[in-house]
Amino acid sequence: MVAEAASVLEIPDPWPGVKASWRRTLSVPSTSAVDSPGTRHEWHFLDNAADVAATVAATGVQPAGTLLCVHGNPTWSYLWRTLLSGATTGATATTGPWRVIAVDQLDMGFSERTGTFRRLEDRITDLGDLTNALGLTGPVVTVGHDWGGIISLGWATRHRDELAGVVLTNTAVHPAGFSLPPALKLALHPAVHGWGTTTTSAFLRVTHGLAQPPLTPDVRAAFMAPYRSVSRRAGVGNFVADIPATSSHPSWSALDEVSSGIQTLGVPALMMWGPKDPIFSDRYLRDLIHRLPQADVHRFEGASHLVQEDRDIATPTFDWLAKNLVGRGHVPAIPEATREAAYSPMLAELDARCEDTSVAIVDMAPGSASKVSNTLVNRSASWAELARDVDDLAAGLADLGVTAGKRVSLLVPPGITLTTLIYACLRLGAVILVADAGLGTQGMSRAIKGAGPDFLVGIERALAGARLYNWPGIRISSVDFPGVTGSSKRALFNVAATVPEIMAKGSVLRRSNPASAFTPAAPDDDAAVLFTSGSTGPAKGVVYTHRRLAAMRDTLKATYALKAGTGLVAGFAPFALLGPALGATSVTPDMDVTSPRTLTAAALAAAAAAIDATVVFASPAAMVNVVASEAHLTPEHRTALARVELVLSAGAPLSEPLLAEVAQLAPNAAIHTPYGMTEALPVTDISLDGIREAGVGNGVCVGKAVSGAVVAITALNPDGTPTLEPSTAPGITGEILVAAPHVKARYDRLWITQEHSAAIPGWHRSGDVGHFDDAGRLWVEGRLAHVITTPAGVRTPVAGEQAAERLPEVSRAAVVGVGPVGTAAAVVIVETVPQTKRAGLADTALAAAVRSAARTVDLEVAAVLCIPEMPTDIRHNSKIDRAKLAVWASRLLSGGRAGKP
């Protein structure tokens, strides 16, 4: 594959993570225009060729290829040490070892100081000179970081015959219409440049300080080692000076050549990104995604510029190489439930009823819940009006530049405006991004920046957030800004247009060209990115194609016999969006949909009365408050609720007593609790009668799979990890697997997370744990992340929590593990009745009662703690944050102050 042209340096191993056998030097003839003919330069690089040779000798498996790793400024080949060490450890009969060559660019690291100013064109040529001297042939995968990214891509565009793939970490190939980041502007300023980059080590120290978490002293010393003197830092300063900020810069043409050239590479690509990077932010990632649309992308939330130091990039890199460039051998058959279902577009029902003058959607007037016969006027739209408005808005959005594949962030509360926006985007093939305010400001900001919308439509509060947090996207207001004050706001929020303006323009365009038609989106094009609740870490974007979104609609129709003419009260935001696709007349109650507990019984009843509702869908937290506020119902309210035929509640488990109270409010309704997740909703379903029939067991009984879905369990190993072997046998506790036509297409820009979730082909790994009973019903026992690996074996939390909550002194309980894997201790944290005022150890009597209750479900409890109020998930107020409680309990039990979790 390569010629052995470099000699091994017999020197000690001074840097953590680097073998002495990797360090090599080679004298290379230069063809760069900046050098005189006959010039040779001494290169230093790290090369694991000896490790590869040993692996080949031991296994007989030939190398898979070569990774050519190029560092940026002001690092050196040390940056790639984890790739060098991981390249041979994963070699198997089907995946050979990878040779890794990590170069020190000339004037950088331990390579020669040439005394010349080397520009981008020279550095691309230099790298080609080195690979020619090494006799490097394909397959080669380039790996780049920082300004090494564009140099590696420059080599790739000029060595297409050898190129097999591209791996990029935080880098940029073009200003992409933006000015330089402030940090680079400062570094280029004449008053700062020489001092900051060369005379002192300030630029190095600032760069190294970007690591999250901070570098250890020995690693920081290793990064500083080649740059201890002013003379050895000249390349650092020259690298900064060669940044082409404008088209007049000498390196602009080389930059432009590479930036356009990579769009025709056509090889597999992987991008791993630290979004906290103050230099190469997400806007550069979005530019690269546009230029390399085939790329797999993973954003490591919380990681910064030195993403190689912040996160493990070696494992995903070699996993990606094995999947894309080597192959994994036998692939098991996928379940029948994942096969394509009959496809009918999401707009089919709306199009079929485009002349129907009956009511399609109602917006409840604020404050109207107190009366059923409203003196306040509710806003409504007929099917014909909705269809007209959707097409007018679609035409106007297209005129503004919203086209197929463009991403549109919708920060508008459920109602007629949001519904019209959603279906207009679906009409155009644009991708809707839905991240609700329940994520909190920080969570929303992470989600929106990560998804990278091209357009952002919002209410005034959302536009203020966009300005404050610099959210991407051309900004559109959901309402007009009238008068002088409105003009000021429009300028302040940098609003390009408003929804009423766009709709009016679209109406004119459609009247002037009535023959124009929209091109339907392809079934497997992306339709929506919906964000998870963030209950187990930063919210994840879940991508649905048009086919999978339609399959969700069809599953709901088939499972609950929903049909045209159904009146749907959507107290759970996602279902406010599905009404027109289901053919249902829909209404969202007078509530703050980002805070489910604001739904009152009166508001629910008033919404039901407004459309003669037959179906109600609300979250568990909303149902808790509905039951609590029952006393405010009038006879008219109760009459409206008595007409309801079906009540659905999903998002977290509901207790039988609570469901029984809901049944009293809607005495003629069947009460159902679907189980599902953002990635697949619904998965299973159970009725109140079914819950009573199942009785008490280990976990929460969620029933059987819904129409078209298949559920399985993969058993757990003693360390709590899943075996990844699907089973439907009863009595096995393990991770819950789901297969269905309406399961997500993938996670958005989270390639590693997606690979983890799809580790068993055809199945989605839910992250929940549970088991089947002898009747084939699924019981959910908690989250995989919350499994406790005790000396007595694996234990799940829900059974212990339910046992504690049956005590009269306990209102809510959480079971968490404290301690290392295999020896963890179970700790029960409780909210007491009456509520305790201070957190701490439970008294002797309560602790004994909780321990005794836990033993009935085979759980030995090490400690019982009391807390005034449980921390809950920021969006689903009924989900207890066990991860936060585990950290708090560990701190408290090790002698720390109780404080708040």
Q: Are 287 and 56 in contact (CB under 8 A)?
A: no
More reliable by pLDDT, 655 or 683: 683
The per-residue pLDDT for 10 is 42
Residues 733 and 800 in one domain: no
Mean pLDDT across 529-535: 85
The answer to whether 412 and 457 are in contact (CB under 8 A) is: yes
- Which range of 329-338, 363-372, 516-525 scores highest in mean pLDDT? It is 516-525
Domain's final residue, options 307, 326, 345:
326
* C-alpha closest to that of 92 among 130, 135, 63: 63
Q: Are residues 166 and 310 in the same domain?
A: yes
- Per-residue pLDDT, 186: 67
CATH number at residue 870: 3.30.300.30
568 and 656 inside one domain = yes
90, pLDDT greater than 70: no
Q: Answer whether residue 15 is part of any domain.
A: yes
Q: What is the per-residue pLDDT for 343?
A: 92
Read off the DSSP letter of residue 96: -
* Contact predicate 340/547, CB 8 Å: yes
Query: What pLDDT score was predicted for residue 172?
Result: 93
73 and 127 housed in the same domain: yes
Residues 858 and 724 in one domain: no
Please check whether residues 776 and 791 belong to one and the same domain: no
Q: Flag whether pLDDT at 206 surpasses 70.
A: yes
* Integer Cα distance of 187 and 52 in angstroms: 41
Check if the beta carbon of residue 471 is closer than 8 Å to that of residue 459.
no
User: 3-class SS at 547?
Assistant: helix
H or E segment and range at residue 29: strand 23-29
% of the chain beyond a pLDDT of 90: 77
Q: Say yes or no: 700 and 774 in one domain.
A: yes
User: pLDDT (tens digit, 9 = 90+) per residue, 223-274?
Assistant: 999 999 999 999 999 999 998 878 888 999 999 999 999 999 999 999 999 9
Give the number of other CB atoms < 10 A from CB of residue 18: 18
Strand pairing class (778-783; 670-672): unpaired
Is residue 410 one of the residues assigned to a domain? yes
Q: Return the pLDDT at 878.
A: 58
Same structural domain for residues 668 and 695? no
Cβ atoms of residues 814 and 882 within 8 Å:
yes
Q: Note whether 292 and 166 are within 8 A (CB).
A: yes
pLDDT given at position 805: 93
Instruction: Find the distance separating the first CA and the last CA of the chain, reported in whole Å.
Output: 56
pLDDT band at 449; cut points 50, 70, 90: very high
Domain count of the fold of the chain: 5
The CATH number for 658's domain is 3.40.50.980
- Residues 631 and 566 grouped into a single domain: yes
Find the mean pLDDT for residues 679-697. 95
Q: CA 866, CA 375: separation in Å to the nearest integer? A: 48
Please give the pLDDT value at position 273: 98
Mean pLDDT of 2-19: 58
Q: What is the pLDDT of residues 718-765, one digit of tens each?
A: 999 999 999 999 999 999 999 999 999 999 999 999 999 999 999 999
The pTM is what? Answer: 0.92
Residue 311: pLDDT band with limits 50, 70, 90: very high
Question: So what's the pLDDT on residue 620?
Answer: 86
In a domain? residue 488: yes
Tell me what pLDDT residue 655 has.
82
Provide the domain limits for residue 498. 381-521
| Same structural domain, 495 and 618 | no
Region 806-820: what's the mean pLDDT? 95
Q: What is the pLDDT, as a whole number, of residue 11?
A: 43
Which CATH number belongs to the domain containing residue 97 in this structure?
3.40.50.1820
In our burial notation (b when 16+ CB lie closer than 10 A, e otherwise), range 103-129 reads bbbbbbbbbbebebebbbbbbbbbbbb
Q: Is the pLDDT of residue 712 over 90?
A: yes
Residue whose C-alpha is closest to residue 137's, from 26, 2, 325: 2
Res. 175: pLDDT tops 80: no
In this predicted structure, what is the pLDDT of residue 2? Answer: 39
Q: Which of 673, 704, 724 is the last residue of a domain?
A: 673
Are 299 and 749 in contact, with CB atoms under 8 Å apart?
yes
Listed in sequence order, the DSSP H helices in 367-436 are 383-400, 416-428
Determine, yes or no, domain membership for 123: yes
Which of these ranges, 11-25, 157-171, 195-209, 686-700, has the smallest mean pLDDT? 11-25
Q: Report, as an integer, the average pLDDT of 291-312.
A: 97
pLDDT in tens, 454-495: 999 999 999 999 999 999 999 999 999 988 888 999 999 999
Residue 446 belongs to some domain of the structure: yes
Q: How confident is the model at residue 896 (pLDDT cuts 50, 70, 90)?
A: confident
Structure tokens at 334: 């996928």
The answer to whether residue 86 scores a pLDDT higher than 70 is: yes
Contacts by 348-353, CB closer than 8 A, 24 or more apart? 348/581, 349/564, 349/580, 349/581, 349/582, 349/583, 350/383, 350/386, 350/387, 350/390, 350/423, 350/580, 350/581, 351/387, 353/383, 353/384, 353/387, 353/564, 353/583
Q: Which DSSP string do the residues of 198-240 spell out, in sequence order?
A: IISSHHHHHHHTT-SSPPPHHHHHHHHGGG-SSGGGHHHHHHH
In a domain, 499, yes or no: yes
CATH code of the domain in which 708 resides? 2.30.38.10
Instruction: Name the strand (E) or helix (H) holding 595.
Output: none
On whether the CB atoms of residues 523 and 416 are closer than 8 A, the answer is no
**Encoded tokens for 342:** 């009959």
559 in Cβ contact with 402 (< 8 Å): no
Report the chain's mean pLDDT, rounded to a whole number.
Answer: 91
| Domain-located, residue 112 | yes
Between CA 198 and CA 204 the distance in angstroms is: 9
Q: Is residue 433 part of a domain?
A: yes
CB contact at 8 A, 344 and 578? no
pLDDT one-digit tens code per residue, 117-138: 999 999 999 999 999 999 999 8
Instruction: Give the angle 615-620-622 at the CA atoms, nearest 5°.
Output: 75
Q: Among 617, 640, 673, which residue terminates a domain?
A: 673
Same domain for 103 and 148, yes or no, is yes
Both 441 and 470 in one domain: the answer is yes
The predicted-structure confidence for 322-366, as pLDDT tens digits, reads as follows 999 875 444 456 676 666 668 999 999 999 999 999 999 999 988
| Distance between CA atoms of residues 235 and 114, nearest Å | 9
Round to whole Å and give the CA distance between 281 and 273: 9
